Amino acid sequence: MSPSASYRGPERRNQDRRQSRTVEVRPTWAGVDQAALASNLRAVQSHVGERCRVLAVVKADGYGHGAVDSARSFVAAGAWGLAVSLIEEGVELRQHGVRAPVLVLGGVSPGSEDVIVHGALTPVVWAPQHLQLLAAAVRRSGAERLPIHLKIDTGMSRLGVLPEDLDGLLDALGRYEDELRVEGVMTHFACADDPDDRATSEAQLDRFRACLARLGERRIHPQIRHVCNSAGLVRFPEAHLDMVRPGIAIYGAGSSPAVELAGLRMAMGVHSRLLGIRELPAGTKVSYGHRQTLDRPSRLGIVPVGYGDGYPRNMSGRAQMLIRGHRCPVVGNITMDLSMVDVSDLPDAREGERVTLLGSQGRERIDVYEMAEWAGLIPYEVTCGLSKRVPRRLI
């Protein structure tokens, strides 16, 4: 079955028409640089070598960048396949004509098995009941053997079969050889992003290799063995194996600057425009709670973005925005729809001025690490938290 064969036609065209009617009036948007996405994918491929596959992770709406358009950019740049967390995310890709292999990381639940088979998705499995559900769906559909990836929990303590339970899973697998084939086997590093901890990841890799040997004893030889996330592929080249699973790296960052791959380009910029400017005397109390008092006569710019858009409220009093290439401090509490920024040092700033919340203006740059530090978050949360109220524009 062609991966997207079941998801083309009227429903997709109707969806596209609905999307084309979306009204965008508010001057706040996120620009997504397709060339940067492609460049980052190629940087990962260059780092791991041509013999190692790259599985581009596009879960959580492509880490906030837009899953469908990001997926297309990554596949065009050479990604072997794509990874999502939810079955619904995989179906969305198929509905938009994405034909590359799609690995569903989040597992199989009752009622999902027919959707997986119908959409030619590749499920990650770790329990006998997953195998039973999928095999029954394959028989009902008359489809060819479904590729699956086995997940082994070597230390994350989240998803996956424990090494001591692996034999039981393999016994169950033997009952479904006509319906299922083991294409891959995987595990997931828990501490790869900790530059002070190599031992945990090395121990996980040792456990994984021991489990691979047990698969070999059963004459199960998956063609794709994969372990590394973004941090893992930087710090543990011995764990590249047959495929790596970069997430945040292909969007232009690392979990921290200490584990960032060289040569990445930040793919997202978030921008707005000044809605107006207020001239206020010293001593004026600002925003909800009056937690900040102006210590000089000030010009405050009103920016139509707030925590309802994913601009975190806990950055209040710490965040900065770029206007005319200068850093301007955010003043008072960030509200649901609006923020205030001090433009007193830019006397010529006017309504309609471009404001950059994330990205570059002139020689200044605000990156996800800085925003994450202001907000007490991790870089992933900065882009994933950007709400649907902020339209993504391809650049």
The pLDDT of residue 24: 73
Q: Say whether both 225 and 373 belong to one domain.
A: no
DSSP state of 170: H
pLDDT at residue 19 greater than cutoff 70: no
Confidence band for 1, pLDDT divided at 50, 70 and 90: very low
My answer on whether 210 and 299 are in the same domain is no
Q: Does position 103 have pLDDT exceeding 90, yes or no?
A: yes
3-state class (DSSP) for residue 265: coil
> Cα separations (Å) of 44 from 14, 47, 231?
36, 5, 11
Please indicate, yes or no, whether residues 247 and 293 belong to a single structural domain of this protein. Answer: no
Considering the domain architecture, whether residues 114 and 213 belong to the same structural domain is answered as yes
Q: Is 171 helix (H, G, I), strand (E, B) or coil?
A: helix
Any domain includes 21: no
**Confidence at residue 13, expressed as pLDDT on a 0 to 100 scale:** 44
For 328-344, letters b (16+ CB in 10 Å) and e give: bbbbbbbbeebbbbbbb
Q: Residue 7 pLDDT more than 60?
A: no
Which residue among 197, 230, 259 closes a domain? 259
| Domain end among 259, 293, 321 | 259
Residue 5's H or E segment, with its range, is none
Residue 103 resides in a domain:
yes
**pLDDT value of residue 255:** 85
Same domain assignment for residues 254 and 314: no
DSSP of 70-99: HHHHHHHTT-SEEEESSHHHHHHHHHTT--
Both 92 and 163 in a single domain? Answer: yes
Q: Is residue 14 part of a domain?
A: no
Residues 329 and 180 in one domain: no
232-266 pLDDT tens trace: 999 999 999 999 999 999 999 988 888 899 999 99
The pLDDT tens digits for 184-215 are 999 999 999 999 999 999 999 999 999 999 99
Of the chain, the percentage scoring pLDDT greater than 90 comes to: 92
Is 298 within the bounds of a domain?
yes
Same domain for 247 and 316? no
Question: Average model confidence (pLDDT) for the chain?
Answer: 95
217/352 same-domain check: no
Q: Are residues 73 and 202 in the same domain?
A: yes
Q: Count structural domains, the chain.
A: 2
259, 290, 320 - which closes a domain: 259
Residue 4 domain-assigned (yes or no): no
CATH number at residue 107: 3.20.20.10
Query: Both ends of the chain: CA-CA distance in Å?
Result: 34
Residue 394, burial from CB neighbour count under 10 angstroms (0-12, 13-18, 19+): middle
What's the rounded mean pLDDT across residues 27-47? 98
Task: Please report whether residue 27 resides in a domain.
Answer: no
Q: What is the pLDDT of residue 272?
A: 98
pLDDT band at 8; cut points 50, 70, 90: very low
Q: CA 15, 390, 370 angle in degrees (round to 5)?
A: 140
State the Cα–Cα distance between residues 209 and 230, nearest whole angstrom: 20
Examine the domain organization and report whether 361 and 299 are in the same domain: yes
For tokens 């997504």, name the residue.
Answer: 32
Residue 18 pLDDT level (bands cut at 50, 70, 90): very low
Whether residue 15 has pLDDT greater than 80: no
Element (H, E) at 326: strand 326-331
Query: Is residue 13 in a domain?
Result: no
Report pTM: 0.92
Alpha-helix runs per DSSP H in the chain:
10-20, 34-48, 59-63, 67-76, 87-95, 113-118, 128-141, 166-173, 199-217, 230-235, 368-375, 379-384
Tell me whether residue 296 is in a domain: yes
Are 218 and 172 within one domain?
Answer: yes
Full domain range(s) for residue 226: 34-259
Which CATH number do you get for residue 286? 2.40.37.10
Q: What is the mean pLDDT of residues 307-336?
A: 98
Residue type, 56: A
- Catalytic positions, please? 59, 288
State mean pLDDT over 300-317: 98
